[in-house]
Amino acid sequence: MGNIIWLASYPKSGNTWLRAFLANLLANKSNAIQFDEWLRYGDDEARPDLFSEIAGCDSTLLDIESLCALRPHVHALIAARAQGTVFVKTHNLNGSFASHLLHNPSVTIGAIYVVRNPLDVAISMAAHFDLSLDEAIDRLGNDGLATANDALYVSQILGSWSHHVSSWADQAGPRVLVLRYEDMLDKQMKTFCKVARLVGLDNNRERIERAVRFAGFNQLQSMERRYGFSEAPRPDTPFFRSGRANQWRDRLSRDQVGHVLADHRAMMRRFRYMPAGY
C-alpha cells in the first residue's frame, strides 16, 4: 500500500495555498510556520535533484520522454524516504505520456485536486510567467502543453485546462477530493474541513481554524514581503499577487472571455464558471 497523497492542480490554481494549510495543520504550532519549514510536511515530484539522482546525470540533459520514464522511480523514492503519509505537489495531468504513467499508482493512496476558474487562471498565469493575456489564454487551450525542463523543475505534462481538470475530477471519490478555489475563498471552514477529514485530522475544529488563519492570503503575502519566497517567478514579481476571484471581469475583453469559453465551455459549465450573458 502506498503513502503518497497528491496535491494536484493546473498551475496558478491554489496549490500553494493548499500546501500552506496542510503544513500548518500538520505542524499544529501557535504561530504560522515559515516557508522553509513547509518541506518537512510535503514534497514536490518535479524536483530535479531526485531525477538526477536516479538517472545518474543532470536532469536538465534529459528529454521529456526520459523524464516521464523516470517518474515512477522518483515517486517510489519519495514514498520510501517518507515517514508515513507524504503530501506531494504535482502539476501533471492524471494520465500518461508516451505510455509512461505520470503518477505511480503503487505508492498512491489519494489526491486533493484544486480547480479554479480558467478566466482567472489566465490572468494569474500571465503575471507569473511573464506572458500576454492572449498568450496565457492560448496556453490554456493547448492539449500538448508541457512546462520547461530547467534547474528549478523538471518538465510537467499539463495539456489543456479542460483536459487537466477532467483527468482528475473524473476520478473524484472517497480518496480523491476535488475542491473549487472559489469555495476555498468563500466557504473556508467548510472546504478546509473536507481536507482535514481526508487526512484524518478533522477532530479538532480549533486546530483547523488556526491552520486556515495561518495560511490566509494576507499572512502569506506578509511573509513573502518580509522573507521572500523561493517560488516567486522573478525578484521583482511577488508570488502572492492578489488571490481574489473574478479578476477577469476587470482585465479580460469580451473577445478574450469568448476565446476561453470556446475552448472550455463544457468544463466551465460543470464547475459553475459560466458567466452570465455568454
What pLDDT, on a 0 to 100 scale, did the predictor assign at position 230? Answer: 57
- The percent of residues above 90 in pLDDT, for the chain, comes to 73
Query: Domain for residue 275, yes or no?
Result: no
Q: Is the pLDDT of residue 11 over 60?
A: yes
What pLDDT, on a 0 to 100 scale, did the predictor assign at position 243? Answer: 65
What pLDDT, on a 0 to 100 scale, did the predictor assign at position 75? Answer: 98
Query: Domain for residue 10, yes or no?
Result: yes
What pLDDT, on a 0 to 100 scale, did the predictor assign at position 67? Answer: 98
Give the predicted TM-score (pTM) of the model. Answer: 0.92
What pLDDT, on a 0 to 100 scale, did the predictor assign at position 164? Answer: 98
What pLDDT, on a 0 to 100 scale, did the predictor assign at position 236? Answer: 61
Q: Which 3-state string (H, E, C) describes the chain?
A: CCCEEEEEECCCCCHHHHHHHHHHHHHCCCCCCCHHHHHHHCEECCCHHHHHHHHCCCHHHCCHHHHHHHHHHHHHHHHHHCCCCEEEEECCCCCEECCEECCCHHHEEEEEEEECCHHHHHHHHHHHHCCCHHHHHHHHCCCCCECCCCCCCCCCECCCHHHHHHHHHCCCECCEEEEEHHHHHHCHHHHHHHHHHHCCCCCCHHHHHHHHHHCCHHHHHHHHHHHCCCCCCECCECCCCCCCCCCHHHHCCHHHHHHHHHHHHHHHHHCCCCCCCC
Mind listing the pLDDT tens digit for each residue in 164-202?
A: 999 999 999 999 999 999 999 999 999 999 999 999 998
Q: Is the pLDDT of residue 225 over 60?
A: yes
Return the higher-pLDDT residue of 232 and 40: 40
Mind listing the pLDDT tens digit for each residue in 45-93?
A: 999 999 999 999 999 999 999 999 999 999 999 999 998 999 999 999 9
Query: Domain for residue 278, yes or no?
Result: no
Query: Domain for residue 40, yes or no?
Result: yes
Q: Chain-wide mean pLDDT for the chain?
A: 91
Query: Domain for residue 96, yes or no?
Result: yes
Mind listing the pLDDT tens digit for each residue in 226-278?
A: 656 656 555 665 556 666 778 899 999 999 999 999 999 999 999 999 998 77
Mind listing the pLDDT tens digit for each residue in 84-124?
A: 999 999 999 999 999 999 999 999 999 999 999 999 999 99
What pLDDT, on a 0 to 100 scale, did the predictor assign at position 217? Answer: 75
What pLDDT, on a 0 to 100 scale, did the predictor assign at position 273? Answer: 97
What pLDDT, on a 0 to 100 scale, did the predictor assign at position 237? Answer: 59
Query: Domain for residue 277, yes or no?
Result: no
Domain that holds residue 34: 4-270
**In total, how many domains does the chain have?**
1
What pLDDT, on a 0 to 100 scale, did the predictor assign at position 35? Answer: 73
What pLDDT, on a 0 to 100 scale, did the predictor assign at position 18? Answer: 93
Question: Can you give the CATH number for the domain in which 95 is found?
Answer: 3.40.50.300
